[in-house]
Structure 1
Amino acid sequence: MRLRLLVISLLSVSFLGALDHTVVSTSLATIAGDLGALEHMSWVVVGYTLASTVLLPVIGKLGDAVGPRLVFVTSLVVFLAASVLCGFAQSMTWLVVARVIQGMSSAGLQLMSQTIIAHVTSPRERPRHMAVIGAAFPIAILVGPVIGGLITDYWGWQWVFWINVPVGLAALALALVAVPHIETAAPRRFDIAGAAWFTVSLVALVLAVSWAGDRSASGAAVVAFVVALVAFAAFLFVELRAPEPIVPLRLFANRTIAAGLVLSAIIGIGLFSVTAYLPTYFQMAYRTSVTVSGLVPIATVFGMLVSNLVTGWLASRSGRYRVFAITGTGLAAVGLLTMSLLPVGLPLWVPMVVMFCVGVGTGAFMSLIITVVQSAVPRSELGTVTASVNLVRQVGATVTTAVIGGVIAVGVAALLPSTVDAATLTPQLVHGASPAVQAEIAGIYTGVFAPIFVGLAVAYGVGLIAAVLLPAGRLPEEQAVALDPEPLPA
Structure 2
Amino acid sequence: MPLSPLRLRLLVIALLSVSFLGALDHTVVSTSLATIAGELDALTLMSWVVVGYTLASTVLLPVLGKLGDVLGARRIFLGSLVVFLAASLACGFAQDMAWLIAARVLQGMSSAGLQLMSQTIIARVTSQRERPKYMAIIGAAFPIAILVGPVLGGAITDYWGWQWVFWINIPVGAAALVLALIAVPRLAPGPRPRHFDVAGAAVFTTALVALVLAVTWATGRSQGPATAVALGASVVGFVAFFFIERRAAEPIVPLHFFASRTIAAGTALSAIIGVGLFSITAYLPTYFQMSYQTTATVSGLVPIATVFGMLISNLLTGWLASRTGRYRVFPIVGTSLGAASLFVMAVLPAGLPLWVPMIVMGLVGMGTGAFMSLIVAVVQGAVPASQTGTITATINLVRQVGSTVATAIIGGVVGFGVAALLPAGLDASTLIPQLVHAAAPEVQASVAHAYSSVFTPIFTALAATYAVGIVAAVLLPHGRLSDEPVPAQQTTSEALTA
TM-score, normalised to structure 1, is 0.97
Report the CA distance between 1:140 and its aligned residue. Answer: 0.1
**How many angstroms apart in 2 are the aligned matches of 1:329 and 1:233?**
31
Deviation per CA, 1:331-357: give whole Å up to 9, x if none: 000000000000011100000000000
Report the CA distance between 1:419 and its aligned residue. Answer: 1.4
Residue number in structure 1 paired with 2:12: 7
Confirm whether residue 209 of structure 1 aligns to residue 212 of structure 2. no
Q: Is the 8 A contact 2:88 2:107 kept in 1?
A: yes
Deviation per CA, 1:197-245: give whole Å up to 9, x if none: 1111111111112222322211111111110111111111111111111
Confirm whether residue 285 of structure 1 aligns to residue 291 of structure 2. yes
Confirm whether residue 158 of structure 1 aligns to residue 169 of structure 2. no
Deviation per CA, 1:296-321: give whole Å up to 9, x if none: 00000000000000000000001111
Report the CA distance between 1:173 and its aligned residue. Answer: 0.5
Q: Is the 8 A contact 2:140 2:315 kept in 1?
A: yes
**How many angstroms apart in 1 are the aligned matches of 2:190 and 2:125?**
17
Which amino acid in structure 2 is aligned with residue 348 of structure 1? L
Residue number in structure 2 paired with 1:487: none
Residue number in structure 1 paired with 2:189: 184
**How many angstroms apart in 2 are the aligned matches of 1:402 and 1:156?**
31
What SS does the aligned partner of 2:224 have?
helix
Report the CA distance between 1:422 and its aligned residue. Answer: 1.3
Q: Is the 8 A contact 2:136 2:314 kept in 1?
A: yes
**How many angstroms apart in 1 are the aligned matches of 2:190 and 2:253?**
18
What SS does the aligned partner of 2:280 have?
helix
**How many angstroms apart in 1 are the aligned matches of 2:106 and 2:187?**
26
Report the CA distance between 1:480 and its aligned residue. Answer: 5.8
**How many angstroms apart in 2 are the aligned matches of 1:211 and 1:417?**
27
Deviation per CA, 1:362-399: give whole Å up to 9, x if none: 00000000000001111011000000000000000000
Residue number in structure 1 paired with 2:379: 373
**How many angstroms apart in 2 are the aligned matches of 1:154 and 1:33?**
17
Which amino acid in structure 1 is aligned with residue 254 of structure 2? P
Residue number in structure 2 paired with 1:129: 134
1:253 to 251, 255, 259: 259
Query: Where in structure 2 are the equivalents of 1:47-446 lying within 5 Å?
Result: 47-188=52-193, 189-446=195-452
- Identical columns (%): 72
Which amino acid in structure 1 is aligned with residue 300 of structure 2? G
Residue number in structure 1 paired with 2:482: 476
**How many angstroms apart in 1 are the aligned matches of 2:211 and 2:129?**
38
Report the CA distance between 1:187 and its aligned residue. Answer: 2.0
1:37 to 30, 35, 42: 42
Q: Is the 8 A contact 2:305 2:361 kept in 1?
A: yes
**How many angstroms apart in 2 are the aligned matches of 1:423 and 1:374?**
46
Q: Is the 8 A contact 2:385 2:487 kept in 1?
A: no
Report the CA distance between 1:69 and its aligned residue. Answer: 0.2
Q: Is the 8 A contact 1:120 1:480 kept in 2?
A: no
Which amino acid in structure 2 is aligned with residue 302 of structure 1? F
Q: Judging changes above 3 Å, is the alpha-carbon distance between structure 1 residues 286 and 239 closer, same or farther for their aligned structure 2 residues?
A: same
**How many angstroms apart in 1 are the aligned matches of 2:366 and 2:169?**
30
Which amino acid in structure 2 is aligned with residue 378 of structure 1? P
Length, aligned pairs only = 482
Q: Is the 8 A contact 1:120 1:481 kept in 2?
A: no
Report the CA distance between 1:186 and its aligned residue. Answer: 3.4
**How many angstroms apart in 1 are the aligned matches of 2:162 and 2:217?**
29
Which amino acid in structure 2 is aligned with residue 135 of structure 1? A
What SS does the aligned partner of 1:210 have?
helix
Q: Is the 8 A contact 2:73 2:189 kept in 1?
A: no
**How many angstroms apart in 2 are the aligned matches of 1:359 and 1:212?**
28
Moved more, 219-228 or 263-272: 219-228
Q: Is the 8 A contact 2:15 2:138 kept in 1?
A: yes
Q: Judging changes above 3 Å, is the alpha-carbon distance between structure 1 residues 231 and 481 closer, same or farther for their aligned structure 2 residues?
A: closer
**How many angstroms apart in 2 are the aligned matches of 1:136 and 1:222?**
36
Q: Is the 8 A contact 2:347 2:456 kept in 1?
A: yes
Which amino acid in structure 1 is aligned with residue 474 of structure 2? V
Which amino acid in structure 2 is aligned with residue 397 of structure 1? S
Which amino acid in structure 2 is aligned with residue 166 of structure 1? P
Which amino acid in structure 1 is aligned with residue 277 of structure 2? L
Report the CA distance between 1:185 and its aligned residue. Answer: 3.1
Unpaired runs of at least 5, structure 2: 1-5, 489-498
Report the CA distance between 1:421 and its aligned residue. Answer: 1.2
Deviation per CA, 1:258-294: give whole Å up to 9, x if none: 0000000000000000000000000000000000000
Which amino acid in structure 1 is aligned with residue 373 of structure 2? S
Residue number in structure 1 paired with 2:458: 452
What SS does the aligned partner of 1:276 have?
helix
**How many angstroms apart in 2 are the aligned matches of 1:218 and 1:411?**
18
Report the CA distance between 1:481 and its aligned residue. Answer: 6.7
**How many angstroms apart in 2 are the aligned matches of 1:29 and 1:210?**
19
Deviation per CA, 1:400-454: give whole Å up to 9, x if none: 0000000000000011111111121000010000011101110110000000000
**How many angstroms apart in 2 are the aligned matches of 1:213 and 1:13?**
34
**How many angstroms apart in 1 are the aligned matches of 2:222 and 2:295?**
32
**How many angstroms apart in 2 are the aligned matches of 1:342 and 1:468?**
29
**How many angstroms apart in 1 are the aligned matches of 2:390 and 2:77?**
15
**How many angstroms apart in 2 are the aligned matches of 1:225 and 1:479?**
44
2:31 to 17, 26, 35: 26
What SS does the aligned partner of 2:279 have?
helix
**How many angstroms apart in 1 are the aligned matches of 2:191 and 2:291?**
59
**How many angstroms apart in 1 are the aligned matches of 2:485 and 2:431?**
59
TM-score, normalised to structure 2, is 0.96
**How many angstroms apart in 2 are the aligned matches of 1:294 and 1:203?**
31
**How many angstroms apart in 2 are the aligned matches of 1:201 and 1:481?**
35
